[in-house]
Amino acid sequence: MPSNHDGMGAFAGRRGRVHLVRNHENRATGLIGVPTVAGLTYDPGAKGGCTVLELDGRDNVLGERVGIAGTAVNCAGGPTPWRTWLTCEETEDRAGTSGYTKDHGFIFEVDGADPHRTGAVPLTAMGRFQHEAIAIDPRNGIVYETEDAFDKPFGLFYRFLPNKPLGGTGSLRAGGALEAMRVPGVPDLSVVQEPGTRFEGIQWVPVPDPMAAETPIRNQDFGSKGITHAQKLEGCYWGGQAVYFVSSFARAKDGSAATHYGQVWKYEPGPRRLTLVVVFGPDTNVRLPGESPDNICLAPTGGLMVCEDGEGAQHVFGVSRKGEVYAVARGAQNIGTPEAPEWGEFAGVTFSPDGATMYVNCYTPGTTFAVTGPWK
């Protein structure tokens, strides 16, 4: 199989089948790449992409195929209301670097049922930056996007206003406007440490150059009032009337205004309200167990599932509607010997359309698990 199993989405197919679309976060060298396929390859010099598993109603694998190839560092993404997957490149590398023949840093749409319907077309209006994940408001089609930036200036939280909202497969190619979030008086989200803290009147500022032709977006001039940054913005998911997104960690030694071991935020578009829901971390500021939350999804019970990407044993955590965290699964320790290879973090947690099965990846060695409920 291609290396580095990461973000993933599950979609209903015909006759009770499920199309499981899986990212492969491959860089340029040293990995098993996604095979190039005519009509589905963006850049032959890139090794990332998506594979699609076709499952029957009992999670038996009926077939596997390439969903998209020739993309780079496909980290996470998110499902669309029209049952396709948006896969995100977590890189800003240009053509001519790392063997690439085209610029990277884009979002691509993948149709699990028929990948040739979507092909390998970059959705350039959604920005060129280190994408992590997306979530779509099913009421109006607005797309929320996270930027996973480790170094200062850290990433931004974006929204994309499509010219053709909720138009179905291929509609995001019609373009739109990209904006970045400003929390008045808060230039860095890491300073917020108390769960339940709320901010009203969230603002959205137009991105000067979404294609980052000269300057990365997070370095661009957003005016005298500035913009709100956060280190390691990762998972993003729509649930109920809000979008949830993750700051995996913040470290003062890296330039963050404060240190934490993971935050989960909730943004409600109606009242333009931002709330800190959960703080993770193993020190005196710890509210909850675990560290470095990454991929997230909505569970059938209405809470969240969170993949941990920290040190030592890796977990999938559940977060109840009340903000309580509990362990669901624990991965192998990172021993790293030939007899016990180094296992990576959990990634790509998602649920079958009927809510009966949780699918989750182990990043390396690449493994996909199907875990039956009763999740409801």
pLDDT tens, position by position, for the chain (376 residues)? Answer: 899 999 999 999 999 999 999 999 999 877 899 999 999 999 999 999 999 999 998 999 999 999 999 999 999 999 999 999 999 999 999 999 999 999 999 999 999 999 999 999 999 999 999 999 999 999 999 999 999 999 999 999 999 999 999 999 999 999 999 999 999 999 999 999 999 999 999 999 999 999 999 999 999 999 988 999 999 999 999 999 999 999 999 999 999 999 999 999 999 999 999 999 988 865 534 445 678 889 999 999 888 999 998 777 788 999 888 878 888 998 876 555 666 556 788 999 999 999 999 999 999 889 999 999 888 7
Strands 61-71, 198-199: pairing kind: unpaired
Q: C-alpha angle 140/144/149, rounded to 5°?
A: 175
Token digits of residue 57: 């109603």
HSE at residue 99, side-chain half, CA atoms within 13 A, is 12
Class of domain 75-372: mainly beta
Return d(Cα 349, Cα 339) in angstroms, integer.
27
User: The tokens of 337 are what?
Assistant: 């010997």
Q: Kindly state the tokens that stand for 39.
A: 């009509």
What are the E-state strand segments in 148-225?
157-162, 176-182, 198-199, 203-206
d(CA 7, CA 365): 15
| Amino acid letter, residue 147 | E
Give the other-Cβ count within 10 Å of 38's Cβ: 7
- Token pair in block for residue 11: 């979609």
CB atoms within 10 A of CB 235: 30
User: How is residue 122 annotated by DSSP?
Assistant: B
Domain spans in the chain, listed from the N-terminal domain onward: 75-372
My answer on whether omega of the bond before 300 falls inside 30° of 0, hence cis, is no
Q: Which of 248, 259, 375 is nearest to 308 (CA)?
A: 248
